[in-house]
Chains A and B, each alone.
Chain A
Amino acid sequence: MVETRISRRNLLAGLGGLTFCIAVGNDGVRLMSQAQANTLANAPVTPWVRIAPDGTITILSAGAEMGQGSMTSLPLILAEEMDADWSKVAIEWVPADAKVYGYKDPFGTEHLMWIVGSRAVQLYFNQLRTAGAQVRKVLIANAAQKWGVDAATLTTEPSVVVNPSNGARLSYGEIAAFGTIPASLPEVDPKELKARKEFRLIGKSVPRRDLPAKVNGSAQYAIDVKVPGMVYASTLHSPVHNAQPDIWDPGKQDQSTVAAESWNDAEVKAMKGVIAVVKLANGLAVVADHFENAKAGRDALEVTWKKARADGFDSRRALADYVRIHDDPNAQTAKLEEKGDVKAAFAGAAKTYKAAFQSDYGYHAQMEPLNAVVHIAPDKVDVWEGSQAPDESRKAVAKALGMPEEKVDFHQCYMGGGFGRRSLGDYAAECALIAKEVARPVKLIWTREEDIAQGMFRPQSFQCLEAATDASGKVTGWKHCVVGDGAFLLITGIKIPYYGVPNQYLERRGVSHGIKLKHWRAVGHVFNTFAIESMVDQIAVDQGLDPIEFRLDRMGATPKARKVFETLAQMADHTAKRPDGRALGISITERSGSLGAGAVEISLDRASGKIRVHKVWVAIDGGVIVQPFAAKANVESAIIYGLSSVLHERVTIKDGLVEQSNFHDYNVMRMSDLPEEMHVQFVDVDTRPTGLGEIGNPFIAGAISNAFFRLTGKRLTHLPFMPERVLETLKA
């Protein structure tokens, strides 16, 4: 069980033992002794590892936990190099201080704690190994001094320093009772880190530490937090995104007068238990003694909203308009990549191909609706939230309240799903404003209906792909244009570094609708990979080649891609005849440094248009796998997430309003649609870990559509493949 109310003072004050701090110096983030840390004026210093005389080793984890397991895998990496006895390791959350506990932003200069884009293990790996190795060196040095021997002659077993020459042993706990930490921690050369064959923890699969609390109801999510004197808030945001309640013109009117005209203020305030109605940037919050009363007040609100950008927005019409934007030679474009001479490749092509694809908006549908608890005390603010980016959330709350970040204590909670939605701190900031207004601790819970209506969504998109082949059948030219809203969200996964096509031109044509958009388990990879791999399959079919053989020979697959394809071929036996009425489709995807080749076996009910996926295989190069069992579960989760989105999930917007409102019309996959078999295999490599949280998702769409073609001779070109769309495709 994770203690979420961690106090750094408690940790530093210590119960005796050794505390290894982490601090930011001019030379970056590093581990140091408490004594040394104390000499640094104004340096942000907090503990990371503490060894108590009873042998308990407390390791702080920056791995925000939404089910992917990084709360356990990050401390495990440190424990590995430290040679800790895992059964003696306790895990606590790190404070939300990115300067101290963050990783360096791979796309910038700042330190971040965002657990997004499958980053946790990938970006903390080296940092944690080095820290663990330093702790081990200090423990060995203390034992060496005690015994009067050369430290180089000593070794360790889990939580014990051993002298092999005489069998003397000192446990880490015993050392913690007398040991000291040198002012300067020992340097660790990467060569001194353990070789893979020496790992006792990495690659062995220890049980995730969050599991026991998740089978008896004791796991604490933010929605479960209770603070004395707490009241409840339920929000009604503008049904059209980003509209304000139609309210005052500053300087002209008194807010209280206008409020009554903009919404039925008096009526709602008179309802049972209602304490206040609070105006927010683009909505209202009803505050009451209990949530059911707050929600009843919220449901009774009648609000006149101001005009918003998205008024009248129609997602279907917009999607159709993307085609026109693509055809418009004068449309503004953003070049994403240009390689070789694309014009020449197409001009001299033996054959060219062109295909267009579309994709609808998608919703995260994390099971725990967005919520937060905020308590504003005279001297500080406490925030409880399950956040993928606690540093960002803390910042958002501080900004909303106009307070310095140092005054905001962020308490991390388990997340009931994240999938990219929980990294802004927007609802925590909203809760802070409400708490300030009513001057009481507040728990804000978005209803499921709010959660869907407000998105934020994976953008809808249109893509046009063109390919050119030479006389030998090799793909020599490649063009991919993606059209839609969402800028950077739209382009993830559009590059094809796993293929060796020499001449490429990739572009984005942007529009803006005023609809709230967000990262979504691999976001752009979903529709970009779908388009890319459908196109590749089309050429393979045209050339009469096996889809894997084609990708290896004619797409110039890299050695890494070759390896995952070959592994997949073995796993799925993809050339074998499938049972009657079934077909196999192949696809590949990269994400966060990992590469995965996958296949699905499907059947089709031609009367209803329902596609059934029976078997799924995926071969992944994810570098060294820290927690294989959890990693496999994570990939399986992404497969299901992918199947669900590809076969069922669709957000549409009409007259500016999101048309779906709950799980009856936003259909997520249920148990009866589960494939009979899912096979996940990691290729055996010795490279640094790469991201695994999303790699199982983006290949699904292409694999299904390619299988569908083999079954029917028709191509599905619009995500998701709902039955009615499948029927249309069959008729076309």
Chain B
Amino acid sequence: MISFTLNNQQVSVDADARTALLWAIRDHVGLTGTKYGCGAGLCGACTVHVDGVALRACQTDIGSVAGKKIVTIEGLSPNSSHPLQKAWLVEEVPQCGYCQSGQIMKAAELLAKNPKPSRADIVAHMDGNICRCGTYHRIIAAVERAAREA
């Protein structure tokens, strides 16, 4: 049994310590906003925050997060009110939407440490997150908007 804080709630998962956090969150706890894309840390669809740091949940064993604070897209705000979520809607960023939880969580990490990022800062920070629908330019616009309006 491994316990951690997930979106401000204590949870315990009955699984092997080597189980990927991704499957613990999605299947054991049942929060499915965090997505499986590659299972190899290559696409960023499973990005979550562990003690404020954006990590790939598919590459993070639950054994390594015992006692830590994890935030997923569901816990980013109670009602889609995070400046990034609002900006994402204004800029109509999502297409298929599958990668967007990971994109938003990755971008949230950036704004938390750099509230006024340049375009180059955004690109450097977000380059590991794949969007197959090619919404990259809208992601940049939304991050810039969120930085402006936050």
Contacts and interface: CB of A to CB of B under 8 A. Distances in A.
Given A215-B85, A292-B20, A664-B40, A678 B137 contact: yes
Interface stretch (A13-21, A74-82, A410-418, A504-512): A410-418
Interface residues of A, number: 63
B40 A416 contact: no
Interface stretch (B29-37, B49-57, B109-117): B29-37
Nearest to A642: B134
A290 B28 contact: yes
B136 A211 contact: no
A215 B92 contact: no
Contact of B132 (A367, A447, A633): A367
Interface string A653-669: 00000000011100011
B96 A369 contact: no
B16 A272 contact: yes
B40 A292 contact: no
A663 B128 CA distance: 11
Contact of A670 (B97, B104, B127): B127
Given A215-B80, A367-B130, A668-B132, A633 B95 contact: yes
A413 B89 CA distance: 21
A444 to B, nearest CB: 13
Contacts of B132: 365-367, 417, 419, 641, 668
Contacts of B40: 448, 662-664
A109 interface: no
Given A212-B89, A633-B138, A670-B127, A448 B94 contact: no
Contacts of B134: 636-641, 644, 669
A466 interface: no
Given A214-B100, A448-B40, A674 B130 contact: no
A671 B15 contact: no
B130 A637 contact: no
B149 interface: no
Given A215-B89, A217-B32, A671 B140 contact: yes
Interface string B70-99: 001110110010000100110011111111
B56 to A, nearest CB: 12
A68 interface: yes
Interface in B1-56: 15-16, 19-20, 23, 26-28, 30-40, 42-43, 45
A116 B26 CA distance: 30
B23 A367 contact: no
B96 A415 contact: yes
B125 to A, nearest CB: 9
Nearest to B98: A416
A684 interface: no
Interface string A383-413: 0000000000000000000000000000000
Contacts of A215: 80, 85, 88-89, 93-94, 100, 104
Interface stretch (A46-54, A220-228, A602-610): A220-228
Contacts, number: 174
Nearest to A644: B134
B134 to A, nearest CB: 3
A217 B130 contact: no
Interface string B107-147: 00000000000000001101111111111111110000000
A449 B42 CA distance: 12
Nearest to A636: B134
Contact of A217 (B20, B72, B136): B72
Contacts of A419: 132
Given A662-B38, A669-B134, A214 B74 contact: no
Nearest to B138: A633
Nearest to A221: B98
B83 to A, nearest CB: 11
A66 interface: yes
B138 A416 contact: no
Contacts of A416: 35, 96-99
Contacts of A663: 38, 40, 42-43, 130
A226 B29 CA distance: 12
A414 B42 contact: no
A644 to B, nearest CB: 7
A257 interface: no
Interface in A188-225: 207-208, 210-221, 223-224
A662 B40 CA distance: 8
30 contacts: A67-B95, A211-B97, A212-B80, A215-B100, A215-B104, A216-B80, A219-B97, A221-B35, A366-B96, A368-B37, A368-B98, A416-B99, A448-B38, A630-B92, A633-B92, A633-B95, A633-B135, A636-B134, A637-B134, A638-B134, A640-B133, A640-B134, A662-B40, A663-B43, A663-B130, A669-B134, A670-B127, A670-B136, A671-B139, A674-B140
Q: Which 5 residue pairs of A and B lie closest in terms of their CB atoms, listed nearest first?
A: A217-B33, A640-B134, A416-B98, A67-B95, A214-B97
Interface of A: 66-69, 207-208, 210-221, 223-224, 226, 232, 272, 290-292, 295, 365-369, 414-419, 445, 447-449, 629-630, 633-634, 636-641, 644, 662-664, 668-672, 674, 678
Interface of B: 15-16, 19-20, 23, 26-28, 30-40, 42-43, 45, 72-74, 76-77, 80, 85, 88-89, 92-101, 104, 123-124, 126-140
